[in-house]
Structure formats: structure tokens, C-alpha cells
């Protein structure tokens, strides 16, 4: 018979998984490009945006998960049910476009990884990644996919820990960078790119989907309360893992590139520059981790797109269902098509993340509306403190978007 400690551990493990599943969404190739650009151009100075973004992300993902646990609805289903028809269509269409922008970065990143390893042209690599992602997506059940994703996250994390172990980090500058906000000249686009790479709209939709797929809301009040308790542990752990990996990317770029005055304009360049500086092993690991990140996040981006589109028609994520399959096809197909028209893949990666940050306020305000409504959440609706905190986050994101707009037209 297991003792009380073992029983508690086993009980906690039953509720762990969705947070780690969505973690891969904000350590995807788009993050790699944004973080590499941040570290190479500005050293350790923009680490603070990773810290701020992660803090906001924890609260937002926690809120999105609560919607799924309590109501059994994902954000898209909630919008379809409780928004006006016109508002729901606008909300969902912008969210699908955000998923396409996300998938663009994922497919492109994996294709770059294939080019680094096997010299495969980027368009061909993107086609291969699309096919592999679709096969994995439609041939695996959710729990098996969850294990695949957690495995990929582990590979990526270990890869960057290896990178940090073989380079020289200025930890005093890094510590300052994590907690002291600065806005170096010309940095707003990169700041917005990092923000969009960490706090990703499709991840909020996906978290509310995968956590409600377990249908905790149908298992009674006691189970709902227990899941609400353990969900925060799951989310907090997963987001901290993401913070560590995103920070590691900037640390690597700051130490290897910025300290030597090397501007990074493509991820392939980052690999080739690492070879003479830290050895062949680091360059190969970099490419393998990029490929793993691209494959894993292509799957989650496609799932999010399928969930969002199906939610408009009050349908749950169902990979055998027509609405989900249309959403997956639009997400992967739209991203793949766009890649063939990109003249600069690295800029495409960076600007895809900026596009996510522009859509983000729509998703945040929509989420706040749903989780603050007693008609939707009942007694689990946001408290006044929670609502004010979430609105403050939305205001920060909106303000940064306004700054980006005026900076771009100057």
C-alpha cells in the first residue's frame, strides 16, 4: 500500500501535463529569433522583458485554464457562446490569423534546422515539417502527443543548458538585465517581438482547450476545487521552465555575439558562428534543438488553430471532426504558403512574433470578459483584485503596441 506521501505525489501527477504541453509554444523558433536578436543587438539589457512577459503569462495562462476547468469551454467556445455573433467572428478570425503567424515561425524554424543539419532548402524543409506535423497530429491521441511535447521541451531545455555551460556569462550584468527595465534606442520592435514570443495568443486558447479536455467540470465540485488548486502548480512550474529557456537564449546571444560585436541576421549564421567559438558539438546541438522546437510547436500551433476554428461552431477540439480539420488545414496551409513568399526568413520569424503581440490585446480582453462574468463562471468569476490585475496586464500590452505603432511611422 502506498503511504500518504506517495499517494499525494500520485494525485498531483494526475493533474500535471497541460502546462508543460503549452510550454513549447513559447520556446518555439519565433522565440529563438526574437531572443537571439535581443541578445545579439542589446546584450543583457532586454532580459527584463522576458521576466515581465513570463509574470504576465503565468496570470493569463492560469486564468485561461480556470475558464476550461470551471465551464468545460475553451476560450473560442466561450466567445462563440457568450459574444455577439459579429464580435465572435472578429475575435475568432484574428485568433486564427495569430495561429497562422505562429505556425509560420514553427515551420520556418524547423526548416532552418533541417537546412543546418542536412542542407535541405528552406521551402522543401517547410513542406517536410508540415507533412510530419500533420501525420503526428492525426495519428496520435492527446495523451501520446502530450508525452511527445514534454520530450521535445526536455531536449530544448537540455540543449540550452549545455550551451550556457560552455560559454562565459556575465552574471552581474544578467542579474541587472532581468529586473531593471531599459529601452535602448531602436529596441521597441525587438521588445514587442520578445513579448509576442512569450505571451502568445494561441497558447491561451490552447491551454483552455487541453485542460478542459479532461472534463473536470463534469466530475463534481470537489474535483473542480482540487484541479483549480493543482493547476496553478502545473502552470507555474511550466512557465518558470519557459522563463529559464528564453533567458538562456538571450544569455547565449549576449555572451557569444554581442560581446564580440557580431550582428545576428539569420539563425544559420548563429550556428556557424558558434562553431569556432564553442566547438562543433554546440552548433549541432543548436540545430537539433531548433528542429525539435519547430516540430513540437508546429503541432501545438495546428492544434490551437483547429480548436479556435471549431470553437466558433461550439465544437470541441476533435482531430477527426470537420471543423477542427479545417482549422488545422488553414493554420498549417496558410503558414506554409506564406513561407514561399518570404525574402528574409529571419525577419519573417521576428515579425511573426510582432504580429502576435498586436493581436494579443484582443485575446486578453476577451478572456477577461469571459472569466469576470458570473453568467459564465458563476462563483468562480474573477475577484476584483484579479480583474484589476488582468486589466493592468492588458493595458501594458496595449501601451506597448501603441509605442510600436508610433515608432514604426516615425
pLDDT in tens, the chain (410 residues): 445 544 444 444 455 556 666 666 667 777 888 898 999 999 999 999 999 999 998 999 999 988 988 898 999 999 999 999 999 999 999 999 999 998 998 899 899 989 988 999 999 999 999 999 898 888 765 556 666 666 766 776 777 777 787 788 999 999 999 999 999 988 988 998 888 878 888 889 988 887 765 555 555 566 677 677 778 888 888 888 889 888 988 998 898 889 888 888 877 777 766 666 556 776 777 788 788 888 888 888 999 999 999 998 888 888 889 999 999 999 999 999 999 998 888 788 888 878 888 888 999 999 999 999 999 999 999 999 999 999 999 999 888 888 877 776 66
- The rounded distance, in Å, linking the Cα atoms of 23 and 242 is 6
Coil vs helix vs strand at 195? helix
Q: What is the pLDDT of residue 276?
A: 60
Q: Is the residue at 17 inside a domain?
A: no
- The rounded distance, in Å, linking the Cα atoms of 332 and 129 is 10
- The rounded distance, in Å, linking the Cα atoms of 55 and 52 is 5
Contact present, 253 and 43 (Cβ < 8 Å): no
- The rounded distance, in Å, linking the Cα atoms of 40 and 260 is 9
CATH of the domain at 54: 1.20.1740.10
- The rounded distance, in Å, linking the Cα atoms of 103 and 165 is 31
Q: Is the residue at 26 inside a domain?
A: no
Q: What is the pLDDT of residue 195?
A: 87
Q: Is the residue at 216 inside a domain?
A: yes
C-beta atoms surrounding 101 within 10 Å: 28
Q: State percent of the chain over pLDDT 70.
A: 83
Q: Is the residue at 30 inside a domain?
A: no
Q: What is the pLDDT of residue 277?
A: 59
- The rounded distance, in Å, linking the Cα atoms of 262 and 257 is 5
Q: What is the pLDDT of residue 33?
A: 83
Among residues 29, 33, 18, the alpha carbon closest in space to that of 250 is found at: 33
Residues sharing a CB contact under 8 Å with residue 358, sequence separation 6 or more, in sequence order: 196, 401, 404
Q: Is the residue at 5 inside a domain?
A: no
Residue 404 CA to chain centroid, in angstroms? 21
Domain of 172 in residue numbering reads as 41-409
Q: Is the residue at 23 inside a domain?
A: no
Among residues 221, 224, 232, 233, the alpha carbon closest in space to that of 69 is found at: 224
Cell (9 digits) for 34 = 526574437
Give the burial class of 139: count Cβ atoms within 10 A of its Cβ; 0-12 exposed, 13-18 middle, 19 or more buried.
exposed
Q: Is the residue at 7 inside a domain?
A: no
- The rounded distance, in Å, linking the Cα atoms of 43 and 173 is 9
| Widest pairwise Cα distance in the chain | 70
Contact present, 202 and 102 (Cβ < 8 Å): yes
C-beta atoms surrounding 241 within 10 Å: 18
Contact present, 23 and 199 (Cβ < 8 Å): no
- The rounded distance, in Å, linking the Cα atoms of 157 and 152 is 9
- The rounded distance, in Å, linking the Cα atoms of 186 and 205 is 32
Q: Rounding to the nearest 10 degrees, give the CA dihedral for residues 33, 39, 40, 43.
A: 170
- The rounded distance, in Å, linking the Cα atoms of 195 and 354 is 8
Contact present, 353 and 197 (Cβ < 8 Å): yes
Q: What is the pLDDT of residue 5?
A: 46
Residues sharing a CB contact under 8 Å with residue 183, sequence separation 6 or more, in sequence order: 191
Q: What is the pLDDT of residue 291?
A: 86
Q: Is the residue at 74 inside a domain?
A: yes
Contact present, 33 and 267 (Cβ < 8 Å): yes
Cell (9 digits) for 135 = 501525420
Number of domains in the chain: 1
Amino acid at each position: 500500500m502506498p503511504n500518504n506521501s506517495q499517494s499525494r505525489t500520485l494525485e498531483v501527477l494526475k493533474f500535471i501535463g497541460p502546462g508543460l504541453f503549452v510550454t513549447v509554444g513559447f520556446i518555439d523558433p519565433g522565440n529563438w529569433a526574437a531572443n537571439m536578436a535581443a541578445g545579439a543587438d542589446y546584450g543583457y539589457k532586454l532580459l527584463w522583458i522576458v521576466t515581465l512577459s513570463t509574470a504576465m503569462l503565468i496570470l493569463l495562462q492560469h486564468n485561461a485554464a480556470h475558464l476550461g476547468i470551471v465551464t468545460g469551454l475553451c476560450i473560442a467556445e466561450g466567445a462563440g457562446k457568450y459574444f455577439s455573433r459579429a464580435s465572435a467572428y472578429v475575435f475568432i478570425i484574428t485568433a486564427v490569423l495569430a495561429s497562422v503567424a505562429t505556425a509560420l515561425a514553427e515551420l520556418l524554424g524547423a526548416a532552418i534546422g533541417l537546412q543546418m543539419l542536412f542542407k535541405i532548402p528552406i521551402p522543401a524543409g517547410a513542406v517536410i515539417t508540415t507533412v510530419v506535423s500533420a501525420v503526428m497530429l492525426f495519428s496520435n491521441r492527446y495523451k501520446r502527443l502530450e508525452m511527445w511535447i514534454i520530450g521535445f521541451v526536455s531536449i530544448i531545455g537540455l540543449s540550452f543548458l549545455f550551451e550556457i555551460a560552455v560559454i562565459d556569462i556575465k552574471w552581474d550584468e544578467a542579474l541587472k538585465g532581468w529586473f531593471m527595465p531599459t529601452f535602448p534606442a531602436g529596441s521597441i520592435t525587438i521588445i514587442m517581438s520578445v513579448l509576442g514570443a512569450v505571451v502568445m495568443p494561441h497558447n491561451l486558447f490552447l491551454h483552455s482547450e487541453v485542460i478542459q479536455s479532461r472534463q473536470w467540470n463534469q466530475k463534481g465540485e470537489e474535483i473542480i476545487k482540487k484541479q483549480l488548486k493543482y493547476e496553478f502548480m502545473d502552470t507555474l512550474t511550466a512557465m518558470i521552465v519557459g522563463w529559464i529557456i528564453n533567458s538562456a537564449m538571450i544569455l547565449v546571444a549576449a555572451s557569444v555575439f554581442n560581446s564580440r560585436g557580431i550582428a545576428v541576421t539569420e539563425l544559420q549564421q548563429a550556428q556557424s558562428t558558434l562553431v569556432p567559438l564553442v566547438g562543433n558539438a554546440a552548433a549541432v546541438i543548436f540545430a537539433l534543438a531548433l528542429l525539435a522546437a519547430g516540430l513540437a510547436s508546429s503541432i501545438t500551433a495546428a492544434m490551437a488553430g483547429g480548436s479556435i476554428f471549431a470553437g466558433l461552431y461550439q465544437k470541441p477540439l476533435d482531430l477527426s471532426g470537420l471543423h477542427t480539420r479545417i482549422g488545422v488545414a488553414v493554420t498549417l496551409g496558410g503558414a506554409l504558403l506564406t513561407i514561399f513568399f518570404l525574402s528574409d526568413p529571419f525577419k519573417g520569424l521576428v515579425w511573426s512574433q510582432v504580429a502576435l503581440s498586436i493581436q494579443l490585446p484582443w485575446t486578453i480582453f476577451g478572456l477577461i470578459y469571459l472569466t469576470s462574468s458570473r453568467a459564465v463562471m458563476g462563483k468562480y468569476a474573477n475577484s476584483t483584485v484579479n480583474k484589476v490585475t488582468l486589466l493592468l496586464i492588458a493595458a501594458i500590452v496595449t501601451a506597448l503596441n501603441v509605442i510600436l505603432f508610433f515608432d514604426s511611422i516615425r
